[in-house]
Amino acid sequence: MADSGYNTPDVESVLPIHPTAARRPNYLTVQSENTQYTDDHITSKFVNRGASVDISNGQFLVTPTAQTYEFQTKRTVSKTGLMMIGQGGNNGSTLCATILANRHNIIWRTKAGVQQPNYIGSVLRASTVRIGTDNSTGQDVHVPVSDVLPMVHPNDLVLGGWDISGATMDKAMDRAQVLDYDLQRQVAPYMALLGKPLPSIYYPDFIAANQEARADNLIPGDDKQVHLDHIRADIRKFKQDNQLDRIVVFWTANTERYSDIIPGINDTADNLLAAIKSSHSEVSPSTLFAVAAILEGEPFVNGAPQNTFVPGVIELAERHQSFIGGDDLKSGQTKLKSVLAEFLVNAGIKPLSIASYNHLGNNDGHNLSAERQFKSKEISKSSVVDDMVNANRLLYKAPVEEGTKGEHPDHIVVIKYVPAVGDSKRAIDEYYSEIFCGGRSTINIFNECEDSLLATPLILDLTILTELLTRVKYRGVDKKDFAPLYPVLSLLSYMLKAPLVKPGTEVVNSLNRQRNALEAFLKACIGIEGSSDLLLETRIW
């Protein structure tokens, strides 16, 4: 990269990455017998209201239910590190550069004018939640989502991680070609001080062969137990060196092929650990990183579509009460699909086919040009409409046999690698639907987005929410002690294409339901009932 004309920053201005810049205080306080504040905790009482249904001979007997819980949230935010697998990739380098730009208030010029750093695209930092009505005006009151409970500020994250490429972080940013040149020019000295990522593991069978040229920064050997021990030592050292309370380990590296689920190999926690010890060929790099994080007691989030969380990983997370979440960042086309499919089905319109075409030219697209890696992405994208279809058996016939899908729209996903467009992803969707009395309706949507600039805020949101959830405990009214949440963090679903949920529970892909669940949970932790859209005050005398 050319000489910036700027002085290289002092190391002290970048490390340790815990800026002391003033933060706006959290002004949200709930006055209620259901909410108590101490110096250490916020404790709230919440009634989870629902209904149970008995079905007999086509008749529905509905019984309202109410379960009371208490939530206890630690008020002190953890000093948090983010360790990314794939730190030197498009997403990883973009995240590091944009955090540094925000932290140091770097202002840059584009052909459209002066640009200031921000966190637009982050649900937590750039969207609001309704908390009630202003007593004096009667107007709705909205606050930033990040004000509901104490949360990590993105600027405070300590950044690190692994990559199979040994390019230093300034060179990785330059290679990605995501950010404007003037921003790169100014942030490059700070990126250079991050050095190069830690060596990673490379199992060629799991990613496309076209990635081999990048693989020059590897943990040596092929002993997977040695690799696991090495990664665990990396996590411990990073935590100790930076005096951290918490590390979130995040997979933002290449999409892997799906792992085969093999009885006796990865179907239980003990079998998986034994498979690692014997260096079994079906243990993927992402699964190895997940196991390392779990054994170190740190959360792991999978931002790619492969099945990192084989049954043995989930059982291991349960055993160690260590948090996991995934899969696959939901940034653009799939997020829109979940909204539009729900709109059509809720309007009583029957989608007959959904055809999605994508082309992109970044390294993610290059890796996905291989068939086995594309298959992982196809699976994560294809299930996004399933729960909307299952919710409306007036339009779609129910499955005849248990375990089958029943009637379902034709759904096809195509991804092509087109180097010329770089990180600017093009997506075309056609929704072909049946309407009144045999009519047909076609909706075509063309979507162009800068892929990494949509994905990066999601990584921040997932990291910040994950850290928050490690500080939340709950208990039923009949329990004496508070307990941590279930290890599979389904509350992260809003940002993920293929949400991982507790085995045996329903997957929710509806974007509205995912957002409502997130809002309702945050409010429950401060003792506020979920906002009612009934607006009863407008409908009565």
pLDDT at 403 over 80: no
Burial 72-98 (b: 16+ CB within 10 A, else e): bbbeebbbbbbbbbbbbbbbbbbbbbb
- Return the structure tokens found at 347: 């309007």
Separation between Cα atoms, residue 70 and residue 443, nearest integer Å: 46
**What value does the mean pLDDT take over residues 176-193?**
96
DSSP 9: P
Residues 226 and 352 in one domain: no
Mean pLDDT of the chain: 89
Question: Is residue 188 within 8 Å of 235, Cβ to Cβ?
Answer: no
196's CB contacts (< 8 A; 6+ apart) are 88, 163, 166, 167, 168, 169, 217
Percentage of residues in the chain having pLDDT higher than 90: 66
- What residues are labeled active site? 328, 377, 425, 497
Supply the CATH number for residue 247's domain. Answer: 3.40.50.720
Residues 264 and 305 in one domain: yes
Q: Which helix (H) or strand (E) holds 7?
A: none
Look at strands 108-110 and 113-115 and give their pairing: antiparallel
Q: Cis ω on the peptide bond leading into residue 229 (within 30° of 0)?
A: no
Position 288 in a domain:
yes
12 or 183, greater pLDDT? 183
Question: Is residue 301 within 8 Å of 462, Cβ to Cβ?
Answer: yes
Separation between Cα atoms, residue 426 and residue 451, nearest integer Å: 9
* Least-confidence region, from 359-368, 406-415, 445-454, 466-475: 359-368
- Can you give the pTM of this predicted structure? 0.90
Given this model, what pLDDT does residue 4 score? 40
Read off φ and ψ for residue 38, nearest 5 degrees: -125, 175
Position 275 in a domain:
yes
The amino acid that residue 236 corresponds to is R
What is the number of structural domains in the chain? 2
Longest dimension (CA), the chain: 79
Separation between Cα atoms, residue 143 and residue 127, nearest integer Å: 8
Position 502 in a domain:
yes
Res. 375 pLDDT band, cuts 50 70 90: low
Question: Is residue 417 within 8 Å of 358, Cβ to Cβ?
Answer: no
Position 146 in a domain:
no
- Return the structure tokens found at 81: 């590190």
372 or 287, greater pLDDT? 287
Supply the CATH number for residue 443's domain. Answer: 3.30.360.10
Position 521 in a domain:
no
Separation between Cα atoms, residue 312 and residue 247, nearest integer Å: 22
**What value does the mean pLDDT take over residues 173-191?**
96
Position 57 in a domain:
no
Question: Is residue 444 within 8 Å of 429, Cβ to Cβ?
Answer: yes
Question: Is residue 424 within 8 Å of 450, Cβ to Cβ?
Answer: yes
**What value does the mean pLDDT take over residues 240-245?**
97
Residues 192 and 267 in one domain: yes
Read off φ and ψ for residue 452, nearest 5 degrees: -70, -25
Position 190 in a domain:
yes
Residues 216 and 284 in one domain: yes
Over the stretch 6-43, which tens digit does the pLDDT of each residue have? 444 543 444 333 333 345 556 689 999 999 999 999 99
Q: Beta-carbon neighbour count of residue 14 at 10 Å?
A: 19
Q: Which residue has the tokens 């990584």?
A: 459
Residues 365 and 498 in one domain: no
Given this model, what pLDDT does residue 298 score? 98
Compute the Cα dihedral for 269, 275, 278, 279 and give only its sign: negative
E strands present in 86-181: 108-110, 113-115, 128-133, 140-144, 158-163
372 or 515, greater pLDDT? 515
Res. 1 pLDDT band, cuts 50 70 90: very low
Report in angstroms the alpha-carbon separations of 232 from 224, 290, 294, 325, 327: 12, 10, 10, 19, 22
Residues 168 and 314 in one domain: yes
Residues 279 and 346 in one domain: no
Question: Is residue 89 within 8 Å of 163, Cβ to Cβ?
Answer: yes
DSSP 423: T
Residues 316 and 343 in one domain: no
Given this model, what pLDDT does residue 362 score? 76
Given this model, what pLDDT does residue 377 score? 57
Separation between Cα atoms, residue 512 and residue 381, nearest integer Å: 18
Position 413 in a domain:
yes
Over the stretch 421-455, which tens digit does the pLDDT of each residue have? 887 888 889 999 999 999 999 999 998 888 889 99
Percentage of residues in the chain having pLDDT higher than 70: 91
* Domain residue limits at 241: 80-111+152-329+454-474+484-507
Separation between Cα atoms, residue 475 and residue 89, nearest integer Å: 41
Residues 325 and 238 in one domain: yes
Residues 348 and 415 in one domain: yes
Q: Beta-carbon neighbour count of residue 142 at 10 Å?
A: 12
Q: Which helix (H) or strand (E) holds 214?
A: none
Given this model, what pLDDT does residue 26 score? 62
36 or 383, greater pLDDT? 36
**What value does the mean pLDDT take over residues 92-105?**
97
**What value does the mean pLDDT take over residues 290-296?**
98
Residues 376 and 402 in one domain: yes
- Judged by DSSP in three states, 236 sits in helix
Residues 221 and 361 in one domain: no
